[in-house]
């Protein structure tokens, strides 16, 4: 590849990273034809790679790409049947022009596009993949691999979701204040779902999930920048940054799993934690009661104080999980509250809370529940019961490093004095 071609490629990649979602949103805002806008943009990027090496990168790459994509959409509309709807679309596309030489700005409608992706009419499981594709430009095969779904299946799901947006006329609009909370929660949940998929690959060794957590953080930054007065948007970004700051500490040099309580705070990313703390402070100044993501970010903040004090603030963590349990019926919040109780009031109190949570069927096959139960039983001296819980946890764990860690804990129990 020549230097010119390399520079062109980098310029195109930068434009895609910076403005892909903005261009899709602007091109499809009226017609709701997301797939058509994506196809037109793909042609525009191909044209850029062909023309920019000869003519140079334009002063306003975004406007150049938009203009080429708009022309592709006009050509496609002209090839279709000339009914009133097509004529109206042609007129709108003709009027939708941006000067690619004078720095003309592309209106940013990505926030509306995010809300469209998380519309109640879109299946919950496809919302995060849809955002990754239409806002960040991921192809279906990459998304399918990241979410461990067959490419053909993911492609069908994404196509159905885009068809739903077009056929139902789902607007690229920010909901009115009365509906904002419900719809915003769906956007936040979808972004966090994408982060969780990437977080599950602790070493970044799985090419299918590589960089997915980073991309989710990028979406979180976008949302926070577009909604700077929404505490939950800031809280989500704070939560993800707090978690991401500890990513390198989750494995030791040999690749073994290191639980949070045993991690070396010196390996945490201090700058990322400072940014997360600043975001949480800003979130706490926003109007309204704290929501789930603000509270969960506050939990992570209470763990992060170990950098300075050598100990997590377990009293604060217990109170925060009390608030989370009151806010929702999440069994995970109940589990984590039990773990916090074990730290503040002893293993017996933690076990009692675990017993109370055990009636929730959603915990029956949840590995962290059984691992926590095994740990507290071991601390209580109930070795046989702890061994049974460890075996259950080991059987449910898919991460080889975590499974080895649980096996080592179980093996240590065999050397312990046996009690009832």
Separation between Cα atoms, residue 48 and residue 241, nearest integer Å: 35
Say how many residues make up the chain: 420
Any idea which of 134-138, 175-179, 195-199, 404-408 has the lowest mean pLDDT?
Answer: 175-179
Examine residue 250 and state whether it is found in any structural domain, yes or no.
no
Chain centroid offset of residue 391 CA: 31
Q: What is the largest CA-CA distance in the chain?
A: 84
Separation between Cα atoms, residue 26 and residue 250, nearest integer Å: 41
* Whether 125 and 192 share a structural domain: yes
Provide the domain count of the chain.
3
Which of 189, 181, 271 is closest to 230 using CA atoms? 181
Among the three residues 83, 108, 133, which one is the final residue of a domain in this structure? 108
Write the pLDDT tens digit of every residue in 98-129: 554 444 566 778 888 898 998 989 998 899 89
Among the three residues 227, 251, 285, which one is the final residue of a domain in this structure? 227
Structure tokens of 213?
A: 């957590």
Torsion sign over Cα 271, 267, 219, 121: negative
Examine residue 279 and state whether it is found in any structural domain, yes or no.
no
* Whether 18 and 60 share a structural domain: yes
Write the pLDDT tens digit of every residue in 310-359: 999 999 999 999 999 999 889 999 999 999 999 999 999 999 999 999 99
Any idea which of 31-35, 92-96, 357-361 has the lowest mean pLDDT?
Answer: 92-96
Among the three residues 194, 227, 260, which one is the final residue of a domain in this structure? 227
Owning domain of residue 385: 371-420
* Whether 86 and 161 share a structural domain: no
Write the pLDDT tens digit of every residue in 68-91: 998 888 887 777 665 555 555 555
* Whether 104 and 199 share a structural domain: no
Chain centroid offset of residue 17 CA: 17
Examine residue 94 and state whether it is found in any structural domain, yes or no.
yes
């Amino acid at each position: 590849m020549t230097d010119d071609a390399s520079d062109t490629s980098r310029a195109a990649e930068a434009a895609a990273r910076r403005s892909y979602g903005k261009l899709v949103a602007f091109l499809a805002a009226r017609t709701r034809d997301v797939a058509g806008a994506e196809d037109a943009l793909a042609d525009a990027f191909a044209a850029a790679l062909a023309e920019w090496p000869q003519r140079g990168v334009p002063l306003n790459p975004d406007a150049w790409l938009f203009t080429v994509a708009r022309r592709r959409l006009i050509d496609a509309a002209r090839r279709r049947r000339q009914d009133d709807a097509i004529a109206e679309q042609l007129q709108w596309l003709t009027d939708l022009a941006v000067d690619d030489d004078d720095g003309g700005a592309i209106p940013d409608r990505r926030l509306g596009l995010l809300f469209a992706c998380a519309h109640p009419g879109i299946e919950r499981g496809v919302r995060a993949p849809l955002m990754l594709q239409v806002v960040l430009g991921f192809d279906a095969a990459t998304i399918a691999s990241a979410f461990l779904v067959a490419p053909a299946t993911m492609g069908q799901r994404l196509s159905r979701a885009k068809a739903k947006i077009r056929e139902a006329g789902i607007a690229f609009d920010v909901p009115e204040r009365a509906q904002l909370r419900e719809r915003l929660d769906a956007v936040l949940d979808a972004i966090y779902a994408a982060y969780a998929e990437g977080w599950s690959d602790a070493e970044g060794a799985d090419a299918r999930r590589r960089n997915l957590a980073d991309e989710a953080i990028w979406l979180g930054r976008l949302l926070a920048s577009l909604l700077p007065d929404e505490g939950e948007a800031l809280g989500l970004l704070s939560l993800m940054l707090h978690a991401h700051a500890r990513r390198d500490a989750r494995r030791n040099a040999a690749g073994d799993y290191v639980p949070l309580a045993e991690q070396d705070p010196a390996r945490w990313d201090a700058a990322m934690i400072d940014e997360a703390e600043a975001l949480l402070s800003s979130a706490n100044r926003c109007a309204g009661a704290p929501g789930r993501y603000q509270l969960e970010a506050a939990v992570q903040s209470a763990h992060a104080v170990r950098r300075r004090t050598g100990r997590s603030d377990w009293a604060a963590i217990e109170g925060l999980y009390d608030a989370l349990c009151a806010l929702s019926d999440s069994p995970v919040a109940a589990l984590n509250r039990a773990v916090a109780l074990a730290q503040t009031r002893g293993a017996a109190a933690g076990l009692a809370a675990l017993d109370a949570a055990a009636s929730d069927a959603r915990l029956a096959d949840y590995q962290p529940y059984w691992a926590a139960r095994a740990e507290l039983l071991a601390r209580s001296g109930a070795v046989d019961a702890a061994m049974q819980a460890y075996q259950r946890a080991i059987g449910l764990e898919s991460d080889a490093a975590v499974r080895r860690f649980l096996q080592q804990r179980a093996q240590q129990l065999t050397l312990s004095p046996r009690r009832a």
